[in-house]
Structure 1
Amino acid sequence: MGSIAARQPVRVISVSGAVTDLPENLVEAASHANVDFIVGDWMSEYNMTIRGSSKIANVDNAQAEAAFEHTFLEALEPALESLATRDIKLAVNAGSSDTLRLCQSVEKLVKEKDLSLTVAWVEGDEVFDIIQRHRKQGNKFRNITTGQYLDDWKYEPIYAQCYLGSWGITESFRNGADIVICGRVADAAPIMAAAAFWHGWSNSSYEELAHSLIAGHLIECSTYVTGGNFTGFKSLPQCGSPFLNLPIATIRSDGTFSIGMHETPERGGQVSFDTCRSQLLYELQGKRYYNSDVVAIVDQIKMEPDGPNSVFVNNIKWEKPPPTTKVGLTAKGGFQAEVHYFAVGLDIPEKSSLLEKQLRSYLDRGQFSLLKVTTSGCAQPNPASQDEATVDIRIFAQAESEDTFTPKNFLRPCLNIIMSTYPGATFAIDNRQALPKPYFEYFVTIFPQSEVNHVAHIPSRNWSKPIAAPEDTVPYQFEQDIQEGPIEVDVLRDFGPTTIAPLGYIVHARSGDKGSDCNVGFYARNKDEWLWLRSLLTIQRVKELLQNDYNGKRIERFELPNIQAVHFLLKDHLDRGVASTSTYDALGKNVAEYLRAKHIPIPDQFLARGKI
């Protein structure tokens, strides 16, 4: 690729945003996409806890299933020949807690197919032993979401995994690797590595790296930027398939980039100013977007359409990287189980209240660390069917001991009150969820990059290279700035007559999780709606919109004026995060949808343009 390639932009396609993404994406991209690199992410905080705990539980069992993402191998196998014949390089987050074993499995597949592909793997993300050594030395670790110190956490960690940067992947490419297997690098690291390798950037090419970091953020979740999880989904073009085309980042030598997509006649979706704004706002933690190699500052970002299904992105500022990187610690939390009742029609709050009072009287003897009764949904007025009048009452419990959830101790007491409770009381006939299952607690902190044994390996060539930690750094900020913004107008007076309607009729939004924090960003459809939106959405107004869901914790706010967006970080909003949460919305994706459903006074002039 060398010097000729360096004069051209690099084209990177993303084929997987999670272990649950479509496996056929990889072979489609390898066979037909006009790209130089394929990237994919099979990781999340949830499977980091599951795979890590599995590895620890089976440490003495050589026959145990390897703790990597096996669905990646299923996706890779039919794509290998196309990768080889079309000279496309691949970098993935899929090794979980057994990256070397996944590398060996890929090498075996390559050999069986008699292909000339060189496979590398990146070491260093497993840091439990180093964390334990630091704890014995008296070093403190602070949770970046809750502020709690690890020594005050009531759980004992069993596994720790940090987020590596991009340079292990870059060096692997520079030394002839065609496929690079990672265990846990930052989500955007494969995209950053592809661009750094292609354009010959150094680790101090901060402006270029910052732009590539955001390019990676925009495509790391595959079809999220082509219409997945998009509040304007009803307006997306429809094709023969209900699924969406895959995104491509075209990154120039100065780091600026365009987002497009691999267009096929079978799939639909689009890349637009709105879909790109939506994905940018996903899982932000403030205007500083942290990464081990650079910090991208996004509040002045610019986006503009530059052709059909193409958006050009630039004006991303930067800071030097932090001396630390994020690390997640897994601990055994205990066991959990749940039982479901259904209520129909009238008096739903009173029915749920009666059931909970009876349950707590009959069931709760202090044996649970958590016992929560929640009502989900609401009965429609004058319902057209019984289904429209039915809601779910969920009895959710957690406890340290598995014996707490024997049928005698949990399921049967939950069911035995049915003859004494509300009219129409019916429990779910399938009670498999009432059987105990283990859950894990997750503690997110930061850790010195200088302590990480970050090494790139190409086993077939007996080649390894340590990756040095950055030396010129800026400390990580646990709390980012709160930008309330001037209240320049009266939102109830200065925009003329109003009508009470859902906020989401005219405002797009996007939310997601990071540990127990939840972020939510809102953006206006049109530039003349921006002043109204930024004046409306103060921190106090968001607290009011959250209503019963506001937990009293810190809320951080900042604005992105060039894309008419305002962003909020809701601290510790998600009940300990995805691995242990007691809520249905484990990933925080529906916080935005909840807030868009809230009724507020909306200017008639904006409503007259039609609903989203």
Structure 2
Amino acid sequence: MEDYSTRFQRRAARSVRIANCSGARGDPGYQMRRQVELGDVDFITGDYLAEMNIAENAEAYRSGKHPGYEPFALEGIKGSLHCVAQKNVKIIINGGSLNPKGLAEECVKLVRLGLKVAYVAGDDLYEPVKEEIETKVTAPAHLDSENPNVNLVPLAQTFLDDVSQKYIVSANAYLGARAIVKGLEHGADIVICGRVSDASLVVGAAWYWHSWSDTDYDRLAQCLIAGHLIECSAYVTGANYAAFYEEKMESLIDLGFPIVEVAIDGTLIVCKHEKTNGLVTVDTVKCQFLYELQGNIYLNSDVAAILGEVKIEQAGNNRVKVTGIRGQPPPPTTKLAIFYRGGYQSQVLVNACGFATEQKWQLYEAQIRFGLEKRGLLKAFEVLEFQIIGIREPDPSTQLSSTTYCRLFAQAESQDTIIGLLKTVGEFGMQHFSVGFHLSLDLRTALPLPYVAFYPAIFPQDHLDESIVFLSADGQIECSTNAGHPPRYETVLPRENYESTSPVELRMFGPTKKARLGDIALARSGDKGSNINIGLFVREEGAWPWFRSFLTTGRMKQLMAKDWSDEFFIERVEFPHIWAVHFVIYGCLGRGVSSSSRLDSLGKGFADFIRDRVVDVPQVLMHNCRSGP
């Protein structure tokens, strides 16, 4: 193990450079090699897990039909080991998924260069959660149950209905960085994780590098946001960027992946390797900062980051500095992602074109509902939605531009209920509306398919048994060290929720003109379990007084229009130094993730839907706008 004096000299010398090679399982293995080859970095981190990854393969893994880990992670390590060893770079990834031990064993087989391999254990709570539900007929509390202002929408509570009959597929707690730090302190070169919190990979690297203590809350909090900014790979270097249309198209192809530099005081700079495509600007960083937040406190197993005073400023070409983050002790609980068999679902796609389209869809829905009522099935569905997608073009120049489609989406506990729906569709197949009715060719999605449903819960941190496990050169367990628990916790208070303090009168800005909200504001949105989050910001300080006064909770409901339901609840906060307003819309995604009925089940398109709404913008503010296409 490296002695303390050596580590102190190193940490006093410079910031640690931490590169990201993956933000989802689809990011190919060569991205890891590129991050090592293209310049100097100290750590490679990779986030291969979305909430669905583990659940999708859980049953196959337990029956011996799936390795349990993410293959792109193994591909990256295979292609990078020589360069990693040569440059003394350490790897920390959560590609272990269901089976971090298995991926660590595969790494040991590849290692011929004296690299030390370890894996993090303790996140998989499948057996204890399953036993609690089956024997005690109880379930952990829902993640949003601690918020007294939120009434969970009915779909979000279906897991609790007759909970003992639910078939659990997976249950994984979100771990922090403690085991990662212990592994690095004991000489690990490759740390394989399962379900650690996405940003904890970066937290662990910087915590170890700078020899922080677990009560250095301000530093840990700033590093938590560093991890948040690069965890989604190219999302901070030009992907999923609201103003992409302002950039040259060729610069957004084959994007460079991000790097974060973290100083000993926690100060962070987001950047990328030189001569790679993409961009790191104040706007790309603001978009990623606002992504998948839960208000102005970012909770993690090791620290809670207080975000209200965040500042984001350009510090050079493709270099952005982030400051103003404060920290406090973490909450006593962590997130627990439970997936269970939800039943069966079906998607039928029906097209219509031309004249009287709206009336056609009204007739079609009435026919199908009549048929289901006749079969005694209408009330048997948990979800039955007739989603009309697209708008026909006036005076269309092609038949396609005259066509919209209906996505008939259904979920039910019984496969027979879904079969009954398909029979009903067939029964009325020749009773369709006037010419223009046609089915999409691919009917495979119409067949009843089993799906797993998501239940986000909370779990006491002190009940976790988190550890770091080292493997010997022959793949056997060499030693295991318990990670322990945070020294103190701080109870989570209800999140802030407020309208703008001292709003200005909108009329004081003078005459207005109709414009899309996106002509004056950028945004990013995403999912948090059952909820959608969206952060919107203006790019000129002069527009901020109007924007914060204009964009109220009531205004967001108006902008959502027919997508708003009184079942939902909205929280609103402001980030005054980056001219941003942030909303969390509770219940908008139903059960969330794989079990959401929304076409945009992860809420990523919600931001540009809101930006596409036409609003009254003061003319005095429009002269500096960079209008979209």
Give the shorter-chain TM-score range. over 0.9
Alignment partners' CA distance in 2, 1:138 and 1:410: 33
| Mapped contact 1:489–1:535 kept (Cα < 8 A) | yes
Q: Name 2:347's counterpart in structure 1.
A: 338
Which residue, 124, 127, 135 being the options, matches 2:125? 127
Q: Does 2:258 align with 1:247?
A: yes
Offset at 1:425? 0.3
* Structure 1 segment 416-427 matched on structure 2, within 5 A: 416-423=427-434, 424-427=436-439
3-state SS in 2 of match to 1:494: helix
Q: Does 2:296 align with 1:287?
A: yes
| Mapped contact 1:49–1:442 kept (Cα < 8 A) | no
| Mapped contact 2:116–2:189 kept (Cα < 8 A) | yes
| Mapped contact 2:503–2:548 kept (Cα < 8 A) | no
Which residue, 409, 412, 416 being the options, matches 1:396? 409
* Structure 1 segment 207-606 matched on structure 2, within 5 A: 207-239=218-250, 242-264=253-275, 267-363=276-372, 365-366=376-377, 367-406=380-419, 409-423=420-434, 424-460=436-472, 462-477=478-493, 479-491=494-506, 493-552=507-566, 553-606=568-621
* Structure 1 segment 39-58 matched on structure 2, within 5 A: 39-55=45-61
Matched AA of 1:463: C
Alignment partners' CA distance in 1, 2:612 and 2:299: 31
Matched AA of 2:82: E
Q: Could you say if the C-alpha distance between residues 568 and 241 of structure 1 is closer, same or farther in structure 2, counting changes exceeding 3 Å?
A: closer
Alignment partners' CA distance in 1, 2:159 and 2:602: 27
Deviations 1:163-192 (A, max 9, x none): 000011111111111111101000000100
Offset at 1:194? 0.6
Alignment partners' CA distance in 2, 1:53 and 1:585: 26
Count of residues paired in the alignment: 598
Matched AA of 1:472: R
Q: Does 2:10 align with 1:5?
A: yes
Matched AA of 2:26: T
3-state SS in 2 of match to 1:551: coil
| Mapped contact 1:207–1:318 kept (Cα < 8 A) | yes
| Mapped contact 2:57–2:66 kept (Cα < 8 A) | no
Q: Could you say if the C-alpha distance between residues 444 and 129 of structure 1 is closer, same or farther in structure 2, counting changes exceeding 3 Å?
A: same
Q: Could you say if the C-alpha distance between residues 394 and 150 of structure 1 is closer, same or farther in structure 2, counting changes exceeding 3 Å?
A: closer
3-state SS in 2 of match to 1:555: strand
Deviations 1:214-244 (A, max 9, x none): 0000000011011111111112355477121
Alignment partners' CA distance in 2, 1:215 and 1:438: 38
Matched AA of 2:492: Y
Q: Does 2:153 align with 1:141?
A: no
| Mapped contact 2:219–2:327 kept (Cα < 8 A) | no
Q: Name 1:185's counterpart in structure 2.
A: 196
Matched AA of 1:601: D
Offset at 1:386? 1.8
Alignment partners' CA distance in 1, 2:384 and 2:429: 19
Matched AA of 1:38: I
3-state SS in 1 of match to 2:610: helix
Alignment partners' CA distance in 2, 1:592 and 1:379: 23
Matched AA of 2:92: A
Alignment partners' CA distance in 2, 1:333 and 1:589: 23
Offset at 1:435? 2.0
3-state SS in 2 of match to 1:289: strand
3-state SS in 2 of match to 1:322: coil
Matched AA of 1:342: N
| Mapped contact 1:163–1:185 kept (Cα < 8 A) | yes
Alignment partners' CA distance in 2, 1:441 and 1:216: 28
**Residue ranges of structure 2 left out of the alignment (5+ in a row):** 1-5, 146-150
Offset at 1:213? 0.1
Offset at 1:490? 2.2
Q: Could you say if the C-alpha distance between residues 42 and 339 of structure 1 is closer, same or farther in structure 2, counting changes exceeding 3 Å?
A: same
* Structure 1 segment 148-187 matched on structure 2, within 5 A: 152-155=160-163, 156=166, 158=168, 159-187=170-198
Alignment partners' CA distance in 1, 2:86 and 2:73: 20
| Mapped contact 2:269–2:320 kept (Cα < 8 A) | yes
| Mapped contact 2:252–2:278 kept (Cα < 8 A) | no
| Mapped contact 1:51–1:96 kept (Cα < 8 A) | no
3-state SS in 2 of match to 1:180: strand
* Structure 1 segment 77-156 matched on structure 2, within 5 A: 77-110=78-111, 114-132=112-130, 141-145=140-144, 152-155=160-163, 156=166
Q: Could you say if the C-alpha distance between residues 427 and 33 of structure 1 is closer, same or farther in structure 2, counting changes exceeding 3 Å?
A: same
3-state SS in 2 of match to 1:429: coil
| Mapped contact 2:18–2:202 kept (Cα < 8 A) | yes
Offset at 1:101? 1.2
Alignment partners' CA distance in 2, 1:349 and 1:238: 37
Deviations 1:398-431 (A, max 9, x none): 122234444xx44353244232112210011221
Alignment partners' CA distance in 2, 1:359 and 1:466: 58
Alignment partners' CA distance in 2, 1:230 and 1:10: 27
Alignment partners' CA distance in 1, 2:74 and 2:382: 39
Matched AA of 2:11: A
| Mapped contact 1:145–1:516 kept (Cα < 8 A) | no
| Mapped contact 1:49–1:579 kept (Cα < 8 A) | no
RMSD of aligned residue pairs (Cα, Å):
2.0
Offset at 1:521? 0.6
| Mapped contact 1:236–1:270 kept (Cα < 8 A) | no
Alignment partners' CA distance in 2, 1:490 and 1:157: 55
Deviations 1:32-86 (A, max 9, x none): 232111111110112132133444xxx3x3x422222122222322122111112
Deviations 1:520-550 (A, max 9, x none): 0110110001111100011111111111111
Offset at 1:157? 5.1
Matched AA of 2:452: F
Matched AA of 1:455: S
| Mapped contact 1:517–1:574 kept (Cα < 8 A) | yes
| Mapped contact 1:482–1:558 kept (Cα < 8 A) | yes
3-state SS in 2 of match to 1:15: strand
Q: Percent identity?
A: 36
3-state SS in 2 of match to 1:601: strand
Offset at 1:31? 2.1
Q: Could you say if the C-alpha distance between residues 395 and 108 of structure 1 is closer, same or farther in structure 2, counting changes exceeding 3 Å?
A: same
TM score, norm. by length of structure 1: 0.94
Alignment partners' CA distance in 1, 2:159 and 2:26: 35
Offset at 1:3? 2.9
Name whichever of 499-508 and 79-88 sits farther off.
79-88
3-state SS in 1 of match to 2:22: coil
Matched AA of 1:368: F
| Mapped contact 1:45–1:579 kept (Cα < 8 A) | no
Q: Could you say if the C-alpha distance between residues 513 and 285 of structure 1 is closer, same or farther in structure 2, counting changes exceeding 3 Å?
A: same
Alignment partners' CA distance in 1, 2:190 and 2:281: 31
Matched AA of 1:603: P
Alignment partners' CA distance in 1, 2:159 and 2:80: 47
| Mapped contact 2:530–2:588 kept (Cα < 8 A) | yes
